Chain A
Amino acid sequence: KNEVEQSPQNLTAQEGEFITINCSYSVGISALHWLQQHPGGGIVSLFMLSSGKKKHGRLIATINIQEKHSSLHITASHPRDSAVYICAVAYNNNDMRFGAGTRLTVKP
């Protein structure tokens, strides 16, 4: 069983829809990261969270430490948001564990 579980694995949305991607982890962490990977491999770090909520443009990330759960929300989705979104957890020893990713396709 993966230490980091993401859902859904695949998500198709129409442009303008509100999107939620979920991430659950099994043990205490020092931080949680949301990453975006486009075709070709390049990875962009979207958020690093240790508590609460962060917002950047149309992207919102939340984390509930007690429930060991995080969500990434995309408001007013756009085809350029199509990518793989990866949740990663970091432990105190700087080790990181990654979810399998959520492949998002936004159709115009």
Chain B
Amino acid sequence: KAGVTQTPRYLIKTRGQQVTLSCSPISGHRSVSWYQQTPGQGLQFLFEYFSETQRNKGNFPGRFSGRQFSNSRSEMNVSTLELGDSALYLCASSQGNLYGYTFGSGTRLTVV
């Protein structure tokens, strides 16, 4: 059974640009969550989607957005990149609230 796939694995962008990251969940998983991990702030929750609906959003500015498609694949977008957006972005999928999460390997974004 394929795991959670995140693409790309590594990305370098310039300040002011925008970026789109992709997450393909495990087949049958309808919940996809996104997280940001930095050395200073640790892991932080970005948002969670279930059946194409955003159910919750963490404390991040509006430059961070996401969506989920009918096949449960999810994308997150960061516009007007700042140096502080450099981080490991992780997504995780789940069958639902009562189940554990499976994490992807992450996308390491560097903003220069």
Contact residues in A for B21 (Cβ distance below 8 Å): none
Inter-subunit contact B105/A98 (CB<8 Å):
no
Inter-subunit contact A43/B103 (CB<8 Å):
yes
Is B97's CB within 8 Å of the partner chain A? yes
Give me the interface of B with A, judged by CB distance under 8 Å. Answer: 31, 33, 35, 37, 42-45, 48, 50, 55-56, 58, 88, 90, 92, 97, 99-103, 105-106, 108
Inter-subunit contact B90/A96 (CB<8 Å):
no
Q: Given known contacts A30-B97, A88-B43, A98-B43, is B90 in contact with A43 (CB within 8 Å)?
A: yes
Q: Can you pick out 27 interface pairs between chain A and chain B where the beta carbons lie within 8 Å of each other?
A: A33-B100, A33-B101, A41-B37, A41-B88, A41-B90, A42-B103, A42-B105, A43-B90, A43-B92, A43-B103, A43-B106, A45-B100, A45-B102, A45-B103, A48-B99, A86-B43, A88-B43, A94-B31, A94-B56, A94-B97, A95-B48, A95-B56, A95-B58, A98-B43, A98-B44, A100-B42, A101-B42
Q: How far is the CA of A94 from the CA of B94 in the complex (A)?
A: 12
Q: A42-B106, A94-B56 are in contact. List 9 more A-B contacts (CB 8 A).
A: A41-B88, A42-B105, A43-B103, A45-B103, A93-B56, A94-B31, A94-B33, A94-B48, A94-B50
Contact residues in A for B99 (Cβ distance below 8 Å): 48
Q: How far is the CA of A40 from the CA of B5 in the complex (A)?
A: 16
Inter-subunit contact B106/A96 (CB<8 Å):
no
Inter-subunit contact B100/A41 (CB<8 Å):
no
Interface secondary structure of A, over-half rule: strand
Is A76's CB within 8 Å of the partner chain B? no
Contact residues in A for B48 (Cβ distance below 8 Å): 94-95
Q: How far is the CA of A97 from the CA of B41 in the complex (A)?
A: 12
Inter-subunit contact A96/B33 (CB<8 Å):
yes
